[in-house]
Amino acid sequence: MIREFEGATEEEAIQKAIQELGLDKEDLEVEFLGREKGGFFKKGPVKIRIHVDDEPVVDEVPTDRGEAFSPDKDFLEKVTNFLVQLLTRCGIDARVSNLTAEAGKIVFDVATNDTNLFIGKKGRNLDAFQFLCNVYANKLLGDGKYVKIVLDSENYRSRREDTLIRLALKAAQMARRTRKSQLLEPMNPFERRLIHTALSEIEGIHTESEGEGTIKQIRVIYTGEAK
């Protein structure tokens, strides 16, 4: 997800982003877009772009922070309200319901008529909203405890997993038939682990992650028939 903000100065624009997104300055990836033209004696506003869609989201909450937190009603209400306000600010009218709440993990379902906008291409917007919810929830807890927030809508997560597994199996068949490696689409860490696991038991097939950062591609390699 990408958001743009403006202000009289770059710092003012950043402060607006911090207030609206509920993040700290160090959590933001800021791109300076320049200053718009103003009037004869007046400077135009400074514009910045905030990037949040390439952060690891699904299953990327550190579990070494301490004890898995068991959410109570008050905590669930705070996270739900944060998510509803975040979606509203992004122009998405939605109803948020809690599916499960256990130690260390909370799953929310988002029902909206703007499903395509909420989920985004290949789940990028969904992952971005989930990342922001995880940042907010774990800052509420502070040190010593952690919780993982998972967002879903219309069973997108399970449908996406089925799609990726079918894609991986098809790539493995192609690699075996052509004896040429197959490069899959960019994926987040959770999706890559899913692919590695799905193909780990197939004889003669090896997988490797390629690229920099958290969004990488998987190469499916034919290594020869097992003896």
Crossing angle for the helix pair 156-178 and 189-199, to the nearest 10 degrees: 50
Instruction: Note the pLDDT tens digit of each residue in 76-97.
Output: 999 999 999 999 998 899 999 9
By mean pLDDT, which of 35-39, 41-45, 62-66, 104-108 is the weakest? 62-66
Give the model's pLDDT for residue 72. 92
Classified as helix, coil or strand, 67 is strand
Provide CATH 3.30.300.20 ranges for the chain: 66-154
Provide CATH 3.30.1370.50 ranges for the chain: 158-222
122 confidence band (pLDDT: 50, 70, 90) = confident
47 confidence band (pLDDT: 50, 70, 90) = confident
Whether pLDDT at 59 is above 60:
no
Is the dihedral angle over the CA atoms 8, 11, 15, 17 positive or is it negative? Answer: positive
Identity (one letter) of the amino acid at 88? T
Closest residue by Cα to residue 182 from 217, 211, 220: 220
Domain spanning 158-222 has what CATH number? 3.30.1370.50
Task: State residue 145 phi and psi, 5-degree precision.
Answer: -140, 160
Structure tokens at 133: 């919810």
How much of the chain, in percent, has pLDDT values that exceed 70? 79
Give the model's pLDDT for residue 225. 63
Measured distance CA(227)–CA(73) in Å, rounded: 57
Architecture of domain 66-154: 2-Layer Sandwich (3.30)
Classified as helix, coil or strand, 42 is coil
Instruction: Note the pLDDT tens digit of each residue in 138-149.
Output: 989 877 888 999
Whether pLDDT at 54 is above 50:
no
Structure tokens at 173: 């068949």
Write out the DSSP string of 136-176. HHHHHH-TEEE-EEEEESTTHHHHHHHHHHHHHHHHHHHHH
Give the model's pLDDT for residue 48. 73
